[in-house]
């Protein structure tokens, strides 16, 4: 019976990753920011219902899995959604599936989160089209696994670039107009791998722990500008990458599908995979209803696998 590597940490799926690499999702954070301006203590919920322009959000890694579910949830709440990713055709397919309120048109923008010039061009286009974003969701990510002793430097660099540097570049590009507007929400999608360790996933876990540190620190930095920064940390989520992992375990070990699924669900008290819509509902709440006093926090959507 052939050896099967342990499952990767909780991931979603998106085109941002190189071929054959699964997409990741999640982040974690605790920290509180003091001195928030009084106006920033209000949620953004009224924006979705008020007359006038709809609030605008950009979602990276939006072509499938958790990213597409987030786009659907926010579009359903009346937001103007800009879908960002590398595959234009896939972005357009998701856009065609989103609900559209009267006078609202969603948008797509091609963007490689690891390329500073690509990020700068994409955000310049988005800002020129409608000014400051009211929210940014950093969802794009990827995971590759392997023992640290044999991990190629190229793999390490790729995991840091996609999962951590991409969050830095997109956040840095979105921030100036948000700061000028004294309002905004930034949600970083990490993983329970930002809250705990997973064997054979050192590069990915290191990057996601870095996202956690970025989230905590930035929350303190921009609190007085009316901007809330939080992280959402999904556990194993029912996406294409997990289903592919289950199929590989079945193929390589001869286990049944239910036995292979248990490899991913055994750590969860719910004994099931997280649904993408459960992650999306958390993001929607953070963008539309959560008071700005909720900042610098890690919201674990893991069925109790991680309890902060």
> How does residue 7 score in pLDDT terms, banded at 50, 70 and 90?
low
Write down the residue that tokens 């599908």 correspond to: 257
Write down the catalytic residue from 198, 200, 204, 236: 204
| pLDDT on residue 145 | 87
Compare 205 and 36 and report the one with higher pLDDT. 205
| pLDDT on residue 308 | 67
> How does residue 33 score in pLDDT terms, banded at 50, 70 and 90?
very low
> How does residue 156 score in pLDDT terms, banded at 50, 70 and 90?
very high
pLDDT at 306 over 80: yes
Residue 107: CB atoms within 10 Å:
17
112-155 pLDDT, tens digit per residue, is 999 999 999 999 999 999 999 999 999 999 988 899 999 999 99
Q: How far is CA 210 from the centre of its chain?
A: 14
Q: φ and ψ at 264, to 5 degrees?
A: -90, -25
Q: Token pair for residue 49?
A: 């219902």
Based on the residue annotation, tell me whether 200 is a catalytic residue of this protein.
no
Residue 251: CB atoms within 10 Å:
12
| pLDDT on residue 52 | 63
> How does residue 36 score in pLDDT terms, banded at 50, 70 and 90?
very low
Pick the CATH number of 11-236+267-301 from 3.40.50.720, 3.10.20.30, 3.40.50.300, 3.30.470.20: 3.40.50.720
């Amino acid at each position: 019976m052939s050896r099967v590597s342990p499952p990767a940490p909780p991931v979603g799926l998106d085109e941002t990753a190189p071929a054959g690499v699964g997409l990741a999702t999640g982040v974690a954070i605790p920290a509180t920011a003091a001195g928030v301006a009084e106006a920033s203590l209000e949620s953004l919920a009224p924006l979705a219902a008020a007359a006038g322009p709809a609030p605008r959000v950009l979602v990276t890694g939006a072509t499938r899995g958790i990213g597409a579910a987030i786009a659907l949830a926010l579009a359903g709440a009346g937001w103007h959604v800009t879908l960002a990713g590398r595959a234009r055709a896939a972005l357009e397919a998701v856009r065609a599936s989103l609900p559209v309120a009267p006078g609202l048109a969603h948008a797509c923008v091609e963007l490689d989160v690891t390329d500073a010039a690509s990020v700068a061009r994409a955000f310049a286009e988005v800002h020129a089209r409608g000014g400051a974003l009211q929210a940014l969701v950093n969802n794009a990510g990827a995971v590759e696994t392997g023992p640290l002793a044999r991990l190629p430097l190229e793999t390490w660099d790729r995991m840091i670039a996609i999962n951590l540097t991409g969050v830095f570049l997109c956040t840095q590009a979105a921030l100036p107009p948000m700061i000028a507007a004294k309002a905004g929400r930034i949600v970083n999608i990490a993983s329970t791998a930002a809250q705990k360790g997973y064997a054979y996933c050192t590069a990915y876990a290191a990057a996601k722990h870095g996202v956690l540190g970025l989230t905590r620190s930035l929350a303190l930095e921009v609190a007085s500008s009316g901007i809330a920064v939080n992280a959402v940390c999904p556990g194993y989520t029912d996406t294409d990458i997990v289903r592919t992992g289950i199929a590989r375990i079945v193929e390589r070990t001869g286990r049944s599908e239910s036995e292979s699924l248990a490899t991913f669900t055994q750590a969860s008290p719910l004994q099931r995979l997280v649904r993408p819509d459960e992650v999306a509902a958390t993001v929607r709440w953070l963008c539309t209803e959560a008071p700005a006093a909720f900042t610098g926090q890690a919201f674990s959507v893991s069925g109790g696998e991680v309890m902060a």
